[in-house]
Amino acid sequence: MGKISEEYIEQAERDLLHTYNRFHLVLDRGEGVYLYDIEGKKYLDFVAGIAVFALGYGDKVYNDALKGQVDKLLHTSNYYYNVPAVEAARKLKAFSGMDRVFFTNSGAEAVEGAIKTARKYGFLKDGRTDHEIIAMEHSFHGRTMGALSVTGNAHYREAFEPGIGNIRFATYNDYESVASLVNDRTIAILMETVQGEGGLTPASEDFLKKVRALCDEKGLLLILDEIQCGMGRTGYNFAWQRYGVKPDVMTCAKALGCGVPVGAFLMTEEVGQHSLVAGDHGTTYGGNPLACTAISTVLDRYEALHLTDHVREVAPYLEQRLDELVSRYDFILERRGTGLMQGLVLDHPVADTINAALEKGLILINAGPNILRFVPPLVIEKQHVDEMIDILDSCLQ
């Protein structure tokens, strides 16, 4: 690490609140699937800003669209309509198959909105304010108080209790565990379609279909968190589309804006007509012209690049190369995941491996202490998979 990087890191540690244990790396620019630090060193990026930069870095159409909107109008507030928001909502509805959209500034805010939607839906249903939501153990939904309350990791919650209350936790992929928690106060079941931070674990088709049927039988809302696993990462626009199990409410963010901070929660028309109304929810910045230009352009680029088709082509190759590592090293216990959302489970902590890879020009992150996570830009090619495997293999040796 050079002197310039050291100076910036020292300044950051003096000025920024220390809530992150950052890698000693000061990034400066990106190009394609590569990042460069301020001293010019090149890194192959298999993190994509935590599954955000689906298009890679420097997509000209995306960049030009944002530059054009900056010169037109950045913000209006939601007292008025703006064209990018209308266009983004129309395209996102078509992309997702959902009916109503609310734009937020982040994934955590999308989860907050989904929780409020469920509680208002229950209130209008029977006038009660004590409804319960069933969430999943080992889940992660965000750091705000509502999102934290439905995050199934007690360590994240303990210093901030009490949370919003009336949350019960079931075992992911265990239908009986979910069914046993349903009572006359239950109003929604909330889960990630593929658990991200909790270990790159997809919901099984049987589990998801049984939970959907349970919600239909009991009049409950199925809320699917697609913040990390959505936007084409599994080879489908949204991961639930692989199984044909449509949620009543869905959250998304991350690759939705491909770098511009933005999220959304979406719902069916039935939920939209029987939940939030004027005055129930709002946000100053949500749906502003810049953010919605990003969304609209991202969706256009997905179509032009046939990006989900590309994921289905390259993901099996990534799986194959990762499986080769599993076969080669006894300390790699298994590969998990789907599409370009993969993990290797080791029998020991992965921090040293990640740091060694960084030294050799490969950016990786973990998902829990002993899982290597691979969430690269969706535009990666097989040659980038090979480059990644070569570096990782040298680190594992």
Contact between 295 and 262 (Cβ < 8 Å):
yes
Name residues whose C-beta falls within 8 Å of residue 56's C-beta, 6 or more positions apart in sequence.
30, 32, 33, 377, 379, 380
Place 4 in a pLDDT band, splitting at 50, 70 and 90: confident
Per-residue pLDDT tens digits for 171-180: 999 999 999 9
Mean of per-residue pLDDT scores for the chain: 97
Place 129 in a pLDDT band, splitting at 50, 70 and 90: very high
Q: Which two tokens stand for residue 99?
A: 């009916």
Q: Is residue 2's pLDDT more than 80?
A: no
Place 324 in a pLDDT band, splitting at 50, 70 and 90: very high
Contact between 84 and 296 (Cβ < 8 Å):
yes
Residue 137: strand pairing partners: 152
Q: Which two tokens stand for residue 346?
A: 């080791």
Q: Is residue 1's pLDDT more than 70?
A: no
DSSP structure string for 280-342: S---SSTT-HHHHHHHHHHHHHHHHHTHHHHHHHHHHHHHHHHHHHHHH-TTEEEEEEETTEE
Which uninterrupted H or E stretch holds 125?
helix 107-126
Q: What is the pLDDT of residue 279?
A: 95
What distance in Å separates the CA atoms of residue 115 and residue 269, rounded to the nearest whole number?
A: 17
Place 349 in a pLDDT band, splitting at 50, 70 and 90: very high
Task: Note if the bond before 316 is cis, omega within 30 degrees.
Answer: no
In CATH, the number for domain 307-377 is: 3.90.1150.10
Q: What is the pLDDT of residue 5?
A: 84
Q: What residue segments make up the domains of the chain, in order of their start?
A: 61-305, 307-377
Per-residue pLDDT tens digits for 177-219: 999 999 999 999 999 999 999 999 999 999 999 999 999 999 9
Q: Which two tokens stand for residue 43?
A: 């890194």
Contact between 193 and 202 (Cβ < 8 Å):
yes
Percent of the chain with pLDDT over 70: 100
Pick the closest to residue 226 from 204, 246, 252, 203 (CA basis): 252
Q: Is residue 8's pLDDT more than 90?
A: no
Q: Cα-atom radius of gyration of the chain, to the nearest Å?
A: 21
Q: What is the pLDDT of residue 19?
A: 87
DSSP helix, strand, coil percent of the chain (3-state; round to 5): 45, 20, 40
What backbone phi and psi angles, to 5 degrees, belong to 374? -125, 105
What distance in Å separates the CA atoms of residue 207 and residue 364, rounded to the nearest whole number?
A: 30
Name residues whose C-beta falls within 8 Å of residue 58's C-beta, 6 or more positions apart in sequence.
30, 31, 32
Amino acid sitting at position 62: Y
Beta strands in the chain (DSSP E): 27-31, 34-37, 42-45, 100-104, 132-136, 167-170, 186-192, 194-195, 201-202, 221-225, 249-252, 263-267, 332-338, 341-346, 362-363, 365-366, 371-374
In CATH, the number for domain 61-305 is: 3.40.640.10
Place 103 in a pLDDT band, splitting at 50, 70 and 90: very high
Burial profile 196-205: b = 16 or more Cβ within 10 angstroms, e = fewer: bbbbbbbbee
Per-residue pLDDT tens digits for 294-304: 999 999 999 99
